[in-house]
Structures are given as structure tokens and as C-alpha cells.
Structure 1
Amino acid sequence: MDRLPRSGRGQGTGGNTLGRTKRQTLQPHRIGSVAGRAAIERDRAKIDALWSDLDKVWFPAGKDDPNLVLIRFEAEEAEFWDTPGPVATGLAYVKAFMTGELPQVGDVGKANLSH
């Protein structure tokens, strides 16, 4: 599990489940999306295993900082879009508008990651 620079999100929800989340990563002409469930954890053994002295920048009270939590993310599905770029995509949309056909604008993929 990766360390996260900030914590406290989702507090006051009456439980430790953050619910369904989605994260998108943008790169030139490539878009990815991962959806799943996130939950807050306060597992001391995991905090000890992941802790670095550099983390004191974000959590001055150290591993005992009350704002320090871990967030477990369980991916359920992922999608990606790889497009040829904005000019070619724009031209494909214009052609689709004129012909009534769906635009062909690159590759699309989907994966079900539920176990």
C-alpha cells in the first residue's frame, strides 16, 4: 500500500468506509480510470512497516499523529482510452457528425478486477 500525503478525508461519515472512488490519470492522448472501494485503516503494524522519517513533514507527531491513517483501495474495474491526439480526434468527430456514424478515435479497453 502506498503512503498518502494527507489524511482525514471521509471522517465524520459514521464509519471507516470511504465508499466508491475513482481515480483518473492523464497523460498525452491516454486516459485511464480505476474504480473501486476505499476504506480507512489504522493498522499499527502496517504504519510501522511503511513509516519513514520523511513522513514527519506531513505528520509532525510521528506515528502517533491522530491524523495519520492508511487508506486501503480495492480496485474493481479499470478502463483506458488511447486516442490519436486532439486534432485527429476532432476530425473524427466532425466526420461522425457529417456522416451520422460513430467516431473512430483510438483504442478502448476495460477490465473487471473484482475477485
Structure 2
Amino acid sequence: MENTHRSGLDKLRSFIDNGDIAVLCTLKADHIHCRPMATSDLDEQGNLWFFTNEYSSKVEEVEQNDNITLCYTDHDNSKYISINGTASIVNDRSKMEELFNSSVKMFFPEGLKDPKLALLKVQPHHAEYWDSHSSSMVHFMGILGSALTNERSLGGEHGEIDL
């Protein structure tokens, strides 16, 4: 079981670099509410960390329903991943000190002294990914070849990860 979790975590890490922008989706009343979030960390346990304003609507939404979805897109490398998980708000000063950087300071000019500063922790449970492993032209040629041979071969890799 540990090897399966470790390989799933390694696969997840191959899609996410610290600093990548995720689209965080929460449930707001009767619709899905999405917004971009800068990833601060993907820790050794597989948790994703983001800085947030403790008084924002996303915090209210997570407190109402902690099931969220994160989506990452790497257009340059034709890699995409959608992650389902559980979110929680964390007020851990030592973790904030560990993750705080100049990019975060743009949104929280008072730095670690900002009373609104909090962390959003996402524990991933399941992910689905698409990785074409190739340039757009190679990917297009795979689609064209599939159409000509009537065989499904879009190239690349598609799969799911249970974490």
C-alpha cells in the first residue's frame, strides 16, 4: 500500500511544481466557484499548501463543504491534471514561516504579521491526468494517424491516481 501511495505521490509531483498556479474550485450555494491560486508547497505527505485571506469567500465555502477540485495546466508540455481532495484552513505560524516568500508578500504586504494571513491545506484523494509527452505537431500527427487507420491512438498518457 505504501509503494502505491508513494508512486501516486511521485506521479502527482511530476505534474506540479511549487509556484504553479492551480484553479481552485469550491461549491458556492448553487454553483461552482473557481479562482486561481499560487501553490506554495506539495509536502512529503502529498498535501498541497496555499496562502489565503482567512476572511475570504473561499474560506467560507470550504467551511461549508470541504470537498474541492484543483486543476493544473502546463500548455507548454501538454500536461493537465485535475485533483479532488479535502480542504482545511490552517493557522500554523511555523508552517507559514516555512512557506512565506516574496510572491506571497505581494498579496499580503504586512507579511507574516498580517492578521488575515492563513493557509489552505488540500489533502488530495484522487487525480486524473493527461500527458501527451510531445509537441502539438506530434500530437496532431497521432490524431491524424488515428483517423486514417481507424484505431484510437492519440499518443501520450491518460490515467488516474488514488492517493
Shift of 1:80: 4.3
Opposite residue 31 of structure 1, the aligned amino acid is K
Contact 2:51 2:119 in 1 (8 A): no
Shift of 1:69: 0.9
1:66 is paired with a residue whose SS is: coil
Which structure shows the bigger proportion of residues in helix conformation?
Answer: 2
Contact 1:16 1:41 in 2 (8 A): no
Shift of 1:102: 0.9
Opposite residue 67 of structure 2, the aligned amino acid is G
2:58 is paired with a residue whose SS is: coil
In structure 2, runs of 5+ residues without a counterpart are 1-39, 42-48
Identity of aligned residues (%): 21
1:28 is paired with a residue whose SS is: helix
Shift of 1:51: 6.6
Counterpart of 2:26 in structure 1 is: none
Counterpart of 1:76 in structure 2 is: 125
- How well do the aligned residues superpose, as a CA RMSD in angstroms? 3.3
1:88 to 114, 121, 138: 138
In structure 1, runs of 5+ residues without a counterpart are none
Change (3 A) 1:28 1:57: closer
TM-score w.r.t. structure 1 length? 0.65
Query: Larger relative CO (CA 8 A, sep 6+): 1 or 2?
Result: 1
1:24 to 61, 72, 75: 72
Counterpart of 1:39 in structure 2 is: 88
1:63 aligns with 2:112: yes
2:134 is paired with a residue whose SS is: coil
Contact 1:34 1:76 in 2 (8 A): no
> Within 1, Cα distance between the matches of 2:101 and 2:159?
40
Query: Which of 1 and 2 has greater Rg?
Result: 1
Counterpart of 1:97 in structure 2 is: 147
Shift of 1:31: 0.6
CA offsets 1:61-111 (integer angstroms, 9 cap, x no match)? 443423211011112233341332211221222232333321241233432
